[in-house]
């Protein structure tokens, strides 16, 4: 799993896909670890905090009424940051105000870092996917993101034969292609 858009990533996390959790750890853990280590913690604290934060993230996104209002990366960092500050307060390790404790550099590194080419590519893909029908979004996500076998998709979508499935796939790819040409 190279990179994922937030919606696809949340679906994979909800489904309990190991690869999605590995991707989250690989991409998001370093910033959380850096924040913890710069604010009275060590690597072990960072690992524990990240695990707790991912569990909370899972509980939040599993709720049927959950609406993500930021990037998943920012949301997870906020969970981690708030939990770390609470732990420091509870253990009386914080004697300075929070605004002095939190390193502005960490928050800027995490929340507004220069988007990687992969992130830019995913933002484009998200925009294109938003321009196609819900039916085609489901087909594209099933085939290309979830790697669902065509035979399973045929049953799920109620298609009568493989020819219909291939035809639907083609039509959806064409919709996506037209969406990409618009911008």
The per-residue pLDDT for 2 is: 41
How many Å apart are CA 125 and CA 146, to the nearest integer?
A: 16
In contact, 78 and 32? CB cutoff 8 Å: no
pLDDT of residue 98: 55
**Closest by alpha carbon to 35, among 97, 96, 118, 111?**
111
pLDDT tens per residue, the chain (183 residues)?
444 588 888 888 888 888 888 999 998 999 999 988 888 889 999 999 999 999 999 898 888 888 888 888 888 998 999 888 888 887 765 554 555 555 544 554 555 455 567 767 777 777 788 888 888 888 988 888 888 888 888 998 999 998 999 999 999 989 888 888 886
Question: Per the structure block, which two tokens stand in for 166?
Answer: 């291939």
pLDDT computed for residue 48 by the predictor? 93
For 97, half-sphere exposure in the C-beta direction (CA atoms, 13 angstrom radius) is: 2
The pTM of the full predicted model, rounded to 2 decimals, is: 0.52
pLDDT value at position 3?
47
Residue 167 CA: distances (Å) to CA of 41, 97, 143: 56, 61, 13
Res 40: pLDDT: 83
pLDDT of residue 53: 92
| Residue 125 CB burial class (10 angstroms; 0-12, 13-18, ≥19) | buried
- Close Cβ partners of 149 (under 8 Å, ≥ 6 residues apart): none
């Amino acid at each position: 799993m190279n990179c994922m858009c937030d919606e696809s990533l949340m679906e994979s996390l909800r489904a309990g896909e190991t690869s999605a959790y590995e991707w989250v750890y690989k991409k998001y853990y370093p910033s959380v670890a850096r924040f913890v280590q710069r604010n009275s913690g060590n690597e072990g604290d960072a690992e524990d905090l990240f695990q707790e934060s991912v569990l909370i993230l899972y509980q939040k996104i599993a709720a049927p009424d959950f609406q993500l209002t930021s990037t998943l990366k920012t949301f997870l960092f906020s969970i981690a940051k708030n939990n770390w500050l609470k732990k420091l307060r509870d253990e009386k390790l914080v004697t300075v105000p929070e605004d002095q404790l939190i390193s502005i550099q960490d928050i800027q590194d995490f929340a507004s870092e220069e988007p990687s080419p992969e992130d830019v590519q995913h933002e484009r893909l998200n925009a294109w996917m938003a321009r196609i029908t819900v039916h085609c979004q489901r087909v594209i996500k099933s085939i290309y993101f979830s790697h669902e076998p065509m035979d399973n998709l045929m049953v799920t979508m109620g298609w009568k034969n493989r020819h219909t499935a291939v035809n639907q796939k083609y039509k959806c790819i064409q919709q996506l292609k037209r969406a990409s040409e618009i911008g």
